[in-house]
């Protein structure tokens, strides 16, 4: 938590500093991207790419790099440090990230997790991990430990772990990348990536919304999970919560994190094939219907154990639990129990 000055004061001062320097980096980037990119060109007809229609590029209207259309920007175009995403954990950079997101309100956010705010108000999200945190973390004690959380989404676990005394650094996908989308014949991945990152940006906004509400001092870095910034530092524990199934290359992501971890890796994932022997080393590619572009794998805990052993995390424990989830992220639906597993792997 921010001590001394309040979170609000800290952010206001950071913003005021930015204002004194003239246009902030964010404003400069936004002013570039909000202008029509090529004024004066003819508006073209809708085009077809790979057999599917893509929206026409209308040069007379603003285009936001996080989406198209003329809605107000929900997600700031970030001013990331350019080379290798280095330097992100520097306090000044974290303040800048927070200051640039000081505008986010509820309508700028997509909440992946339900969360109860310090005021008592509950925000509904697709996953409600309240009460299930210990099982989700495999019973690992996190007090006083440095935790690297891969893919924190709205950050329910970030702020939970922080409230239990952990020093948490989140890592999420950077804007110049996209989350990994499964290809599908006749489907234009370029536009899909833009839409996906617009959604992910709103989820990242929700992390910052909760960060402000909880007056958190958790930090976050963005970038390429397959080539983590080398200066993230060392952690006692890494947490992969419901992210491996979304990665084209889960082994590379695990091995990248392993290089930053001295003690334990926690992997929690969906138990998608309960009829299998879960100790078997099995991964099934694209386990769901073709329209599920983000679910790359169904994997057994046995497969996760196998990967972690190869990375030197040879002492493993597997547990099973269920967490409340609203299918298809439809908040009007009642929550159902989703079967999950957690692997806790320690070095040695
Ligand atoms: C399904 S959410 C998991 C949320 C949280 N960890 C939990 O366990 O409840 C997946 C998270 O992984 C991130 N993510 C997905 N693909 C990624 C990629 N290729 N690189 C980095 N982060 C990614 C998403 O942005 C999101 O924060």
pLDDT at 258: 98
- In short, whether 257's Cβ falls inside 6 Å of ligand 1 is no
Q: Tens of pLDDT along 174-209?
A: 877 899 999 999 888 988 888 888 889 889 999 999
Q: Mean pLDDT in the chain?
A: 83
Specify if 79 maps to a domain: no
Per-residue confidence band for 241, with pLDDT thresholds at 50, 70 and 90: very high
- In short, whether 180's Cβ falls inside 6 Å of ligand 1 is yes
Question: Distances from the Cα of 138 to the Cαs of 100, 239, 266, 341, in angstroms?
Answer: 35, 10, 7, 9
Specify if 91 maps to a domain: no
Specify if 171 maps to a domain: yes
DSSP calls for 74-132: SSPPP---SGGGTTTTSHHHHHHHHHHTTT--GGG---SB-EE-TTS-EE--SEE-TT-
In the predicted model, is pLDDT for residue 157 greater than 50? yes
Cβ atoms of 137 and 237 within 8 Å: the answer is no
Provide the token pair at 261: 């971890």
Specify if 256 maps to a domain: yes
Angle at 154 between CA 151 and CA 160, to 5 degrees: 90
Specify if 238 maps to a domain: yes
Distance in Å, CA 239 to ligand 1 centroid: 11
Per-residue confidence band for 46, with pLDDT thresholds at 50, 70 and 90: very low
- What CA–CA distance (Å, rounded) separates 230 from 245? 24
Question: Distances from the Cα of 305 to the Cαs of 18, 56, 136, 280, 312, in angstroms?
Answer: 47, 48, 17, 10, 11
Per-residue confidence band for 52, with pLDDT thresholds at 50, 70 and 90: very low
The residue behind tokens 């929206």 is 55
- What CA–CA distance (Å, rounded) separates 292 from 271? 17
Distance in Å, CA 151 to ligand 1 centroid: 3
| CA proximity to 124, closest of 136, 106, 108 | 106
- What CA–CA distance (Å, rounded) separates 152 from 92? 22
Specify if 83 maps to a domain: no
The CATH number of residue 147's host domain is 3.40.50.150
- In short, whether 153's Cβ falls inside 6 Å of ligand 1 is yes
Atom of ligand 1 nearest to the CA of 240: 6
Pocket-testing residue among 80, 158, 173, 240, ligand 1, by greatest number of atoms within 8 A of Cβ: 173
Per-residue confidence band for 149, with pLDDT thresholds at 50, 70 and 90: very high
Q: Tens of pLDDT along 279-297?
A: 999 999 999 998 889 999 9
Nearest CA to ligand 1 atom 20: 173
pLDDT at 9: 59
Per-residue confidence band for 81, with pLDDT thresholds at 50, 70 and 90: low
Distance in Å, CA 37 to ligand 1 centroid: 31
What pTM value is reported for the model? 0.83
- In short, whether 173's Cβ falls inside 6 Å of ligand 1 is yes
In the predicted model, is pLDDT for residue 47 greater than 80? no
pLDDT at 92: 87
Specify if 342 maps to a domain: yes
pLDDT at 330: 87
Specify if 73 maps to a domain: no
Per-residue confidence band for 99, with pLDDT thresholds at 50, 70 and 90: confident
Q: Give the SS3 label for residue 67.
A: coil
Contacts 24+ apart (CB under 8 A), 101-105: 101/76, 101/205, 101/208, 102/11, 102/15, 102/212, 104/205, 104/206, 104/208, 104/209, 104/212, 105/209
Structural domain range at position 271: 104-346
- In short, whether 172's Cβ falls inside 6 Å of ligand 1 is yes
The domain total for the chain is 1
């Amino acid at each position: 938590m921010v001590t001394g000055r309040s979170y609000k004061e800290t952010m206001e001062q950071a913003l005021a500093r930015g204002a004194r320097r003239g246009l902030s980096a964010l404003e400069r980037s936004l002013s570039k991207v909000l202008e029509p990119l090529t004024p004066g060109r003819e508006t073209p007809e809708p085009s077809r790419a790979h057999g599917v229609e893509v929206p026409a590029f209308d040069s007379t209207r603003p285009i936001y790099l996080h989406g198209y259309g003329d809605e107000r920007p929900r997600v700031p175009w970030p001013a990331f440090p350019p080379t290798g995403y280095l330097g992100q954990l520097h306090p000044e950079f974290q303040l800048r990230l927070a200051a640039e997101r000081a505008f986010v309100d509820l309508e700028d956010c997509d909440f992946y997790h339900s969360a109860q705010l310090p005021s008592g108000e509950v925000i509904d999200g697709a996953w409600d991990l309240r009460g299930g945190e210990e099982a989700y973390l495999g019973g690992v004690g996190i007090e006083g430990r440095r935790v690297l959380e891969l893919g924190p989404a709205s950050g329910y676990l970030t702020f939970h772990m922080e409230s239990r005394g952990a020093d948490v650094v989140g890592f999420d996908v950077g804007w110049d990348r996209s989350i990994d989308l499964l290809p599908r014949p006749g489907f234009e991945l370029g536009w899909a990536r833009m839409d996906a990152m617009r959604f992910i940006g709103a989820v990242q906004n929700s992390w910052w919304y909760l960060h402000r509400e909880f007056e958190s001092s958790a930090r976050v870095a963005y970038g390429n999970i397959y080539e983590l910034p080398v200066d993230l530092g060392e952690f006692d524990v890494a947490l992969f919560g419901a992210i491996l199934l979304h990665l084209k290359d889960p082994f590379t992501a695990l091995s990248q994190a392993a290089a930053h971890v001295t003690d334990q890796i926690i992997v929690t994932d969906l138990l998608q094939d309960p009829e299998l022997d879960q100790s078997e080393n099995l991964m099934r590619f694209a386990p769901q219907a073709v329209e599920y572009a983000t679910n790359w794998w169904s994997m057994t805990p046995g497969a996760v154990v196998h990967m972690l052993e190869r990375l030197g995390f040879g002492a493993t424990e597997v547990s099973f639990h269920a967490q409340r989830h609203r299918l298809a992220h439809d908040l009007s639906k009642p929550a159902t129990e989703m079967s999950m597993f957690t692997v806790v792997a320690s070095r040695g």
